[in-house]
Amino acid sequence: MNEQNDGFGAGLTRRGVLAAFAATAITAAPTYANAFGFLRGGGNVRRFKAYSGRTGEHIDVIYWVDGRYVRPALREINVFMRDWRQNKAIKIDTRAIDIMSASYQMLDVDEPYTLLSGYRTPQTNAMLRRRSGGAAKKSLHMKGQAADLRLHSRSVSQIARAAIKCNAGGVGRYSRSNFVHMDCGTVRTWGR
């Protein structure tokens, strides 16, 4: 059979994309030391599933198939994770998406993440710093390299432990506010 590109992304085949969409749930044991190694062992697809209470939007996309990122799916993630206050989007770092996806797989859940904050414009970040002082001056949110997430069926500690197992970026526990910060910056942890 002759395979076609069909615009899904460089080198992606129709068969690969169809296999990705047939894979509605990805499960793997959390035995890898970092997110990228974990995901290499996680099969031929990677998935991002989330809900934004700020906008009411849902996303459930296969964004990586057979060793390649699916550009239309990444564009959907960029829009979904936009700064909703300014309605501005940038390219979300695929390393951050991979960390969120690997952590999600380790948690063995089906509910979507609740996204509290993805990309932030410098103006939004400055406003949050003035209001609460909780936003870092040079926040990785402003580079599309961080997200604040929660799951109703998992505790902050459970989510943070999964993200820490990725050994691939920063993980902050915000137990009082019931969310976990994940980023693709240097490996570090904070909070309780």
Give the pLDDT confidence of 110-133 residue by residue, as tens digits.
999 999 999 999 999 999 888 876
CA distance 169 to 99: 8
CA distance 114 to 19: 27
Give the pLDDT confidence of 71-94 residue by residue, as tens digits.
999 999 999 999 999 999 999 999
Enter the pTM of the model. Answer: 0.78
Q: Domains, the chain, ranges and CATH?
A: 14-191 (3.30.1380.10)
